[in-house]
Amino acid sequence: MEDAGIYRIDVVQTNGKAESYSCNVTVYDYVPSPYIQREVTGYRTDGCNVTLQCSVPSHPSHLSYTWKYRDQDQEYQPYDSGSTTQISLAPDHQDMEILCIVHNPADHKNVSVQMKDLCHDERPRLHNRRGDTCWIKMSIYLPLLAVLSLLVAVLSFLKR
């Protein structure tokens, strides 16, 4: 990185004519491997809303972010730019793969996420909270009820 700067080149030809050139040298780091942070912001019967943030572990200069998408086996299509994007998917488009490309003039790296995995993983947590509570109650109350019933049956038997 310390080699970046303006360099001057002096050329002296055999006939004695001298020319001077200058050039600006920029040194770029390799792009670190990116990762995608995902947050499902809503799941309804008509779709899944997701916020994706593409990040790299360190922050080299001159990074750009490009998002692309691919539905099933189609070619990637441009989607968005910037490190964060929001996506609203209808149920029939949740087989989509989203690709984040992090690049600078010297290098690029990419990472992808399958939207169906994300939307399907989050759906039970967003919709079945009452059902989860019900299962927790059942797992506590059923054994307790069974023990109490057994205790009543034993006491009835002993009274005879």
Start-to-end CA distance of the chain, whole Å, equals: 93
- The answer to whether the CB of 41 falls within 8 A of the CB of 15 is no
Tens of pLDDT along 45-92?
677 788 999 999 887 778 999 999 888 778 888 888 899 998 887 766
Q: What is the pTM of this model?
A: 0.63
Spatial distance between the Cα atoms of 77 and 88, rounded to a whole number of angstroms: 16
Please report the pLDDT score of residue 90 as a whole number: 75
> What tokens does 101 get?
């490309």
Q: Please give the domain boundaries of the chain with CATH numbers for all domains.
A: 35-127 (2.60.40.10)
